[in-house]
Chain A
């Protein structure tokens, strides 16, 4: 036994020598912080500058590829413009090297975040609410700032998430208020995906419905085309509401609108940014129904908006099909850019520096890309929340297929709602 032990000891010693001799690459690049290097970016404009790597966790193949692809394209266009204009300080910014496809699966999302988390300074896009929640714990531990491609009502509660625009919950409240005040609705139904995104809208609608004393019907939906939505349509018809709120993907929304129109539904069907995709205009049979029934609740402007930011964006987009998500991706860049600039100004281009910069941000000059009051992270969460909602109607003549129908307003429910307690979806 002793002999074996000795032999084993020698073998171990030799093995460890061999292994440490040609050990693994343990340094985190030449820069000071993870995701920041002195080496130029892979597609650098100016090879003299260093590179800041931002992670992208998006959906290129799943239910929300219609969101993820244009959002990412918009971001790329934004940063390309920034880099061409001289970058930020001594750095350029890269959002392509660590772009991953989570296919709208929270587990995959968390797994991919694990893969890239050591190589990035911040996350420029994390698509999906549950998905972002799935990585939030790890990100908080490592002070990683996340810009979500999600408008959940929880982000203002978290320091390291850079939310922009109104949230689904507030939009839903305003939708209900609008339905009651302007359409005289007596009942509302909500068709929504399971999970945080759908629940957020459902809770917003429920809170508003209760406040306004109208009937509320909850109709759960799930990803899938007409066959999966048949029961949803049936559920809605059974409740017979005047207004239907939809918090699903575009295909599901279209199926619901089509189904309801077929059955002679005449109320309004109100969706949000994620429920619209210009590709739906290709469904010629559906267009009249969409035009008649569909409204899109949003706090952002439409593609044709006449602001310097939108103008620059349209120029950058070129032939790219118009998309709200492209605009949102492009617009969200302003916030991240401001945070990085602040961190460099504070001479602390680290994750911690980024977080501090984000916390102290009380607004951003977005050249009209973002709603009024966006990116106020310094203030009280409840005050900083954007409560405005506008409604767009379908208009095939416009570039993005929608045109503003109702100007931005704040309904009574949203105005009084306290968003600093907890996220709406948690109350589902």
Chain B
């Protein structure tokens, strides 16, 4: 063990070090290998961070140097991330789904000197891009399958070899890393978080030691993001991409600041299974995941045997009522609703939540994109304490959150204590100003100047409004607001989310900017509609074939009509078309975070759109 050296600045690294000293044998993380959840203690975690940190020093990483990571969530991601911070480098996360072109852009733009590619797939992308990246010196890989003995690029370095280099360096210069850690400054950049870039190329938001410290302090305070604050007894499941600020918070930073036990999902496909095994106490998910969970409940309940189906329907109906009560009371049970829930918990909800993997969840969070209130209400009804929150990369995810007992569904909650948040009277744009506002875009001072005004206010780009003077409701992205030919302002995401609340609809894109009326492109959820079709003996071959079945069109038409009834006539969809394919990141229709790139959509499906306007456009 290293001796405890006091440093002026507390960083993520010093927090991990202190925790490893205090509770060396507590579990820091678990990852599943060969069917067994292997535990990693804080002592091991810290030991590895030091060794890898030494390796980075040995490879010549200087303060401010960038280290790239393109990998699924796994312990090495965190180890390399913190080792980089220890060496005062900057971690640059890449989505595992980033295609080669984006990898090339990100590696070139960030100027990473060392890059970690998880396996052969990621390595191939990195190697293809490497020749365009003069600053890239070493590419480290984690999985040797298909690589060892086949690749002879001199820049390649196997993780084990990296660890060995680190160990040798550590033996030779035991104090070098400690010195580097002690020299950390609050203004050190710890990470570049590339925004998803729904418009234009991704921009790298620089988050500093100070940003992270402020954000973590705020989140971990009494009425922070989670109350009571996250602690050693909490478990989280790490499954969303770690390069996104939200997952980085819930995994790396919750772990470093709160000591929560991180459990890595095997892959995105096994999340339901892993959730069931881990039964996390804190659970963060993007709306898409919540929608899928909801759809799964509905489908599975409907396809259960007769008795179970009746039973489930009965209790899900009770859950709807419970959810409505909770929405009305801000999340507090009344005496009667508590009684109904207690009985229901015993007979149904406990088992249901166990199957979903949400049995032990004490605080569920939804964020990163707008969600339909029905989804939130459902989960509140079955006893999952749902909280929508709001934040973005540029303010290190610090803006607003819902607090237990004062939950307002449909809003993103109240601003945190100790931060400034206002809504611009003219544009309706939400502005924040606090210690976690980012240090600027990497190598893009122009964009930085457009985002942060000279007074230090961060322009979020989101349009919002106050509800009851305390809660914030987000209307839409400023750029996405549709102004119809009649001059009406319409927020498409509200309509889209209402549509997506149906288990049968996966994607909905509302168009109508500068047109006479609104129309929509709708993509079905293959699983649920497929099941629906099977029950009705409708045969189909491909996604497109299924989408274009008259019965399916009828189904979607019914959903659209139902949703239309809830909106004023100007906000109603007059026409819709089915998307002939599933939108995909690789094809450039979605961002890495599964957000729709509207420009790409209108280009790809231009003929579909114009057909809805009688070819007038």
Q: Answer yes or no: A and B touching, Cβ < 8 Å.
A: no
Interface residues of A (CB under 8 A from B): none
